[in-house]
Structure 1
Amino acid sequence: MTVCWLSLVLFAANPTAPVVRPSDNPTAVEVTVELSAAQAERLKSGRIDAELGQKLLIFSLVDEQDRAGEPIFGNYERDKTTLIFRPRFGLVRGSRYRATFRIEDASDKARELTSDYLVPPVASKSVAVVETVYPSGHEVPANLLKFYIHFSQPMHEGREIFAHLHLLDDEGQPMEAPWRETELWSADARRLTLWIHPGRIKQGVALRDDLGPVLIPGRKYALLIDAEMRDAQCQPLGKSFRKEFRTTKELRERVNLRDWKLATPSANSRQPLAIQFSRPLDRHLAARCLHVRDADGREVAGTVSVSDSERRWHFQPRQPWSAQVYETAVDLILEDLAGNSVERVFDDDTTTDAIPDNADPILKLTWKPQ
């Protein structure tokens, strides 16, 4: 077991800095300091109140700016001249903690002695990499709403991830405040949904008026994920990832199914049903917002794939198609890359451009195998 120790003694060697001792499990530790006889006399033997213990010894999580946070919860105990602190919960792998011993010298000046403890991360057989980024195409509307970033293994969560996500302009310079800094991870922490700030996309919003839109039509940009972004074991990525793209004009039109082209399969076959979209759609919404149903309204079992830079949708049935009428039902939340849905334009906050409330909430395309 490898434990990383960092000790800093700010004042004289007597008294001494706190000691952090890990057990067989490095996330379970015991923090001790040696008290003077006078300090020990002021504390009762055995378990003591946390508020009293924190006047002498605190144990805190340290952030990336080397700042110690609030004292973490735990139990204090005095054993003769030793003050002992045991955290109530296990420490986080790959995180750094600081023990601070507060003392007073002969002149009654407050001093602090500290020791840092870095919890070793779990050894991993491989480093995480960026597997895929959507949109996968190299042209996007200037009012692009979001990226999906897929990693090869679970990633470390926390607001600090945004320090490792960069949007570069055509001169390679980082854009100012491009992101909506809200973490949106999949349940397995392998997919991050990264939003460009909607306030800089919507027309007439103060943030767009003050800072301007993030993306300008007809220019080149790059999404850069730097190699310092960490996985769930706090290991950095194996390498940085860069996706270059060009912007087209802003897109402010509802998704219209009448513009789609269907390639219908043959009856008594398992040929895929294919739909060519009129423009690229949100990859993950396209994968789950279209449903194939038979003439009795039962959902047909099969496998969905999205390809051609999110312009093409395939459905492979488990069983051969029969000679009956089918329908492909579309959920209203289906969106294009700019957040325009089947129901309304992303910029539209009223019902002016929305489908009427009394309309069928699911749109349908009816077809029959050849």
Structure 2
Amino acid sequence: MRAPSRAILNWPASAALLALVPGLALAGASVTPSGPEVAENLLRIELHFDQPLTAPLDMAHVVLLDSAGAPIRDAFLDLPLADRSGTEATLLLHPGRIKRGVGPNVALGPALRSGESVTLRIDDPQLGRPLEQRWQVTAPLRQRIDPQQWTVQTARRGGRGPLLVILPAALDGAARDQIAVQGPDGLRVRGTATLAAGEREWRFTPARNWRPGAYLLRIHPQIEDPQGNRLCSAFEQDAQSAERCEDEGKLAFAID
């Protein structure tokens, strides 16, 4: 399969390490995964700020609490990642505690445990007020992303009703911009995409009325879920970190 067309898909640049960014005390912040549940092998938590951070997020003020309210030690890597704007940061849970059979996993076990609850608490003074998010922990998800398991609910032709793609499990927050709609003419359909329902629904509203014909969802090779699973491999698959996902995913649908 050939590489995806950059002219059609026009994907955003990758995230970079956070640099100091001028800013004010934050008026608000949100977290993804935004749903009520996370898998036991959760790898990534994304933070979305209303205003740029004034300094790198201080991990001394970031903690995961177990069901009893006790801190889970060694849950995170020490270095958060953020985009160039400073309005988004990514917390990485320690991969050694996620991958079965490696040292930290054997010694400490997983940081999250299925059947229990976990609470993220951030009280970095930059935020203006503490941020908390609570999840119920479910069984681990160790399968690659398979678009053939997605359900497409098509809109009616002649209108601008949203296209709805229902996903069997939540995607990473960045997935909003990593899925494109190709129209019957082979060109990208312009419009607005959002993730909803705890990142388990992708909704797309076209800029112009839908035309009848054959359409194609085109999924960027680098799309991931919060567990680090990708199109070409699951996070725990042998040599996954060295494997490059180069083939985009595709899912056909039609508007009659």
Length-normalised TM-score, structure 2: 0.85
* Contact 1:130/1:149, CA 8 A, preserved across alignment: no
1:169 to 66, 70, 74: 66
Task: Give the 5 Å matches for 1:233-244.
Answer: 237-244=127-134
Equivalents in 2 of 1:195, 1:244: separation in Å?
17
Equivalents in 2 of 1:162, 1:315: separation in Å?
36
- The match for 1:5 is none
Displacement of 1:336 in angstroms is: 2.1
Equivalents in 1 of 2:122, 2:253: separation in Å?
44
SS of equivalent to 2:96: helix
Letter in 2 for 1:146: R
The reply to whether residue 181 of structure 1 matches residue 88 of structure 2 is no
Gaps of 5+ in 1: 1-91, 94-120, 232-236
Identity %: 32
Equivalents in 2 of 1:197, 1:157: separation in Å?
23
- The match for 1:83 is none
SS of equivalent to 1:368: strand
Equivalents in 2 of 1:283, 1:186: separation in Å?
13
* CA offset digits 1:300-341 (Å, max 9, x no partner): 111001101111111111111112211111122222221111
* Contact 2:159/2:209, CA 8 A, preserved across alignment: yes
Structure with bigger gyration radius: 1
- The match for 2:43 is 145
Normalized per residue, which structure has more strand?
A: 1
* CA offset digits 1:133-164 (Å, max 9, x no partner): 00001111010111111122111334x71001
The reply to whether residue 254 of structure 1 matches residue 144 of structure 2 is yes
Displacement of 1:129 in angstroms is: 4.1
Gaps of 5+ in 2: 1-19
Name whichever of 194-203 and 181-190 sits farther off.
Answer: 181-190
2:169 to 269, 279, 288: 279
Equivalents in 2 of 1:139, 1:294: separation in Å?
35
Length-normalised TM-score, structure 1: 0.60
The reply to whether residue 361 of structure 1 matches residue 244 of structure 2 is no
* CA offset digits 1:22-60 (Å, max 9, x no partner): xxxxxxxxxxxxxxxxxxxxxxxxxxxxxxxxxxxxxxx
* Contact 1:261/1:276, CA 8 A, preserved across alignment: yes
Equivalents in 1 of 2:73, 2:91: separation in Å?
15
CA RMSD after TM alignment: 2.3
Task: Give the 5 Å matches for 1:164-313.
Answer: 164-226=61-123, 229-231=124-126, 237-284=127-174, 286-313=175-202
* Contact 1:333/1:343, CA 8 A, preserved across alignment: no
Letter in 2 for 1:335: E
Displacement of 1:266 in angstroms is: 1.3
